[in-house]
Amino acid sequence: MPHVEVEDGVEVFVRDMGEGDPIVFLHGWPLNHRMFEYQYEPLLEAGFRCIGIDHRGFGDSDKPYDDYGYDRFADDVKAVLDELDVDDATLVGFSMGGGIATRYMAKHDGAHVGKLALLSAASPCLTKKPDFPEGVPHDEVDPLVEGARSDRPAMTAEFGEMLFHTEQSEEMMDWVWSLGMEASGRATAAAAETFRDADLRPDMEAIDAPTLVCHGIHDEITPIEVTGEVLADGIENAEIVRFENSGHGLTADETERLNEELADFAG
């Protein structure tokens, strides 16, 4: 079942591997499910079922022109989990995928999900609001939107340079860039507007599932004090794990430790 047709006829790509307790992965912007390559193998070997979803507009999913808000992304996840008929899954959301996971848990009452893991999440509120002055200034996020519209290859490369705290190989950086270039330009710009403008603080009150918040202390994209610590304080049953040697891309900065945390949490 490589694709699931969702409510508006869009086909969403799904990669379903292994057997055992299910872990559902929601990727970050502007990448796709393959960003979790180095999580899948060890978790599969540990006996988990791993389900990766490409959000509409990204990876191998359909790329409609419009509708890249968190409500639509969350509805797509619901359609996939309904179709797969999974139960008691661990939902893992990275960066923008963390925002999608937050909205999903609130809008769909945590359907099919027993535990929630938020990794470097762009949630609940990334940018400054009148009652959230600690947020990131809008003008730090606007270049991502503008770059997606004017020179997406350059913007994607520059964004990749911001991801990691530890040194990555040139080949790794090229691979990350190639994942971003599989997205549509329209989805890249529109989804950046979504995570720039969203305020999911009310959604946190609706989440009662055990929640693991993993965040790098050197994160320059979603700073831990703006997002990770707010999530840990705002979700009733949440625990935060600080990754001392990670930036935003803790999937590669501290791969082994992240995999251990996920396996322990999901088990």
Cβ–Cβ under 8 Å, residues 239 and 145: no
Q: Which of 27, 219, 246, 253 is catalytic?
A: 219
Q: Which of 27, 215, 248, 253 is catalytic?
A: 248
Grouping H, G, I as helix, E, B as strand and the rest as coil, residue 53 is: strand
β-sheet with 3-5: strand ranges across = 3-5, 11-17, 49-53, 22-26, 89-94, 113-119, 211-216, 238-243
Does 95 participate in catalysis according to the annotation?
Answer: yes
DSSP conformation class of 169: -
Phi (first) and psi of residue 26, to 5 degrees: -115, 115
User: With 0-12 CB in 10 A as exposed, 13-18 as middle and 19+ as buried, what is 258?
Assistant: buried
Q: Which of 21, 27, 95, 165 is catalytic?
A: 95
Does 82 participate in catalysis according to the annotation?
Answer: no
Grouping H, G, I as helix, E, B as strand and the rest as coil, residue 108 is: coil
Output the DSSP codes for 61-101: S---SS--SHHHHHHHHHHHHHHHT--SEEEEEETHHHHHH
Does 33 participate in catalysis according to the annotation?
Answer: no
Q: Which residues are catalytic?
A: 95, 219, 248
